[in-house]
Amino acid sequence: MEVLVIDDGSTDGTRALVEERYGMDPRVKYTYQPNRGVAAARNEGLRQAQGEFIAFLDSDDVWLPGKLRLQLECLDAVPEAGMVWTDMEAVDLDHRLVHPRYLRVMYHAYRNFPRHQDLFSRQPGPYVDRSPAPRSGEASGSVPRRVPPGAPDAITRPELQADFASAYLVTLQETLARDRDRIALPEGVIRRCLTGACESVGRAALDAGRAAEARSMYWRSLRLNPFEWESLKFLAVAALPERVRVWLRNVVLLRRARGRRGRSAPASAHSDPQ
């Protein structure tokens, strides 16, 4: 096992901590780089990685004991799988349990795979590569995530969602253009992924006040799936006059704020269990 610590321009004493605790451990390698963002840090880790499997651990993540061992056992038991994802526990900022199984609350990609056989293929997919040198994007044997909703986090900041949504759509399109013959997934699953990506870009554009761009993306989503209710709904909103859209947005935000005040549970973070 190797541990690659990629310090993306931090100012919290990471280098000194790693040197103090793990300076004599040959399995731990520390690398500093000027701040370039989480994707650049992950790609640098991928470039250096020598192992067969890769697991990302962000600075705000917590793994429970035995996580990696159990995931490796899963990969051995299902050799056609190229990736293992875990469920997660939601905890508040004091690490008190808020939700015991948070995966289905925060993520929805699993809905694209209603059948077990759709998840796995004897043919390796474009996002995962079990060779020592991954060739395509951020390949991994495990992709753990722990994001604290309600707490400062670069990934969840609203002003960045448009960039994330656009980057996801571009990556998806480029991957399909390059590796479609390697992706052993039903066409319907791929269309749902593209539909969701277009819808996400449209929602981000609408939130940013770019109604024309939002309408264009919702139309693209509907061409892929004419029965996509969310796209139909927000296309109608994007066609409204700007003053009406702003009023509706303020009403929605007010209701959400009242709902948050009415709930007793604190803002939550989450960690990966097995």
In a domain, 255, yes or no: yes
- Widest CA span of the chain, in angstroms? 64
Asked whether the predicted pLDDT for residue 75 surpasses 60, the reply is yes
Across the chain, mean pLDDT equals 77
Residue appearing with tokens 């052993």: 184
Please, are residues 45 and 134 in contact by the beta-carbon 8 Å criterion? no
Question: What's 24-84 look like in SS3?
Answer: CCCCEEEEEECCCCHHHHHHHHHHHCCCCCCECCCCCCCECCCHHHHHHHHHHHCCCCCCE
In a domain, 242, yes or no: yes
As for how many domains the chain has, the answer is 1
Q: Which of 102 and 68 is assigned the larger pLDDT?
A: 68
In a domain, 7, yes or no: no
Asked whether the predicted pLDDT for residue 91 surpasses 70, the reply is yes
CA distance 135 to 137: 7
pLDDT tens profile 228-251: 888 888 888 888 888 888 887 777
Query: Helix 187-207 crosses helix 161-179 at what angle (to 10 degrees)?
Result: 150
pLDDT cut 70: percent of the chain above it: 73
Whether pTM > 0.75 for this model: the answer is no
Q: Which of 194, 200, 168 is nearest to 180 (CA)?
A: 194
How many beta carbons lie within 10 A of that of residue 127, not counting itself? 19
In a domain, 136, yes or no: yes
- Tell me which residue range forms the domain holding 234: 51-271
In a domain, 157, yes or no: yes
In a domain, 15, yes or no: no
In a domain, 9, yes or no: no
pLDDT tens profile 191-205: 888 998 999 899 888
In a domain, 251, yes or no: yes
**Once rounded to an integer, what is the mean pLDDT over residues 116-130?**
43
